[in-house]
Amino acid sequence: MNKLTYLTLFLSISIYAQDIAILQYKGGGDWYSNPTALPNLIKFCNQNINTAINRKPVTVTPQSVDIFQYPYVHMTGHGNVFFTEEDAENLRNYLLSGGFIHIDDNYGMEPYVRKELVKVFPDKKLEELTSSHPIFSSKYNFPQGLPKIHEHDGKRPQALGISHEGRLILLFTFESDLGDGWENPEVHNDPEEVRLKALKMGANIIKYAFEN
């Protein structure tokens, strides 16, 4: 399937789509972690940024043509990630034809993600977003950039991205753990203000992905 065919497919089935998906990747990492996170984020978005997202996100695999139905794909976990060449090619075509992937490191993904993204974009590198990037103000203002939600190694939170033709197409949030902040309050016992900060940042990401 050539690039033009991928573009036509994406536009024909997803131009009005507002559903989102979770990426089921290979490698043994727990792609299914934080099961209450996305449903809670979806509820927050539907109530606050005028989306109409299905409350139950679907699961897609990197090599599946089904991924083209979703303008936003979420990826998370703690461990190993592996993309085949077929996975990498399909993900590349999905992103270049209008898709968006948010990779939220739930702790431990970072070295594997960096290695596998070289397969997807051998000519592009993850670059840190400045606090002036529109993803930090698409709905709610985060003048300091990515918020810190959970402490792991005492490092500062980083929002890293890959862009194409002026549009952010891949976001990698690292040392922040937004997904933990989206989970039900009893899971991590986060204060409400911390959860709200995570949900607002998540809503910014969804809004950016849908509108850009």
State pLDDT tens for residues 34-89. 899 999 999 999 999 999 999 889 999 999 999 999 999 999 998 899 999 999 99
Category of 19 on φ-ψ map: left (φ > 0), alpha (ψ -120 to 50) or beta: beta
Q: How many folded domains does the chain comprise? A: 1
**170 within domain boundaries:** no
User: d(Cα 205, Cα 171) in Å, to the nearest integer?
Assistant: 9
Q: Compute and round to an integer the Cα radius of gyration of the chain.
A: 16
**169 within domain boundaries:** no
CATH number, residue 29? 3.40.50.12140
**150 within domain boundaries:** yes
User: d(Cα 212, Cα 165) in Å, to the nearest integer?
Assistant: 11
**116 within domain boundaries:** yes
36 DSSP 8-state letter? T
| DSSP-based three-state secondary structure for 91 | helix
The whole-model pTM stands at 0.90
**In which domain, by residue range, is 187 found?**
3-164+175-211
Q: Which residue has the tokens 């002036």?
A: 132
**202 within domain boundaries:** yes
User: d(Cα 54, Cα 63) in Å, to the nearest integer?
Assistant: 23
State pLDDT tens for residues 188-197. 778 899 999 9
Q: Token digits for 1?
A: 């399937």
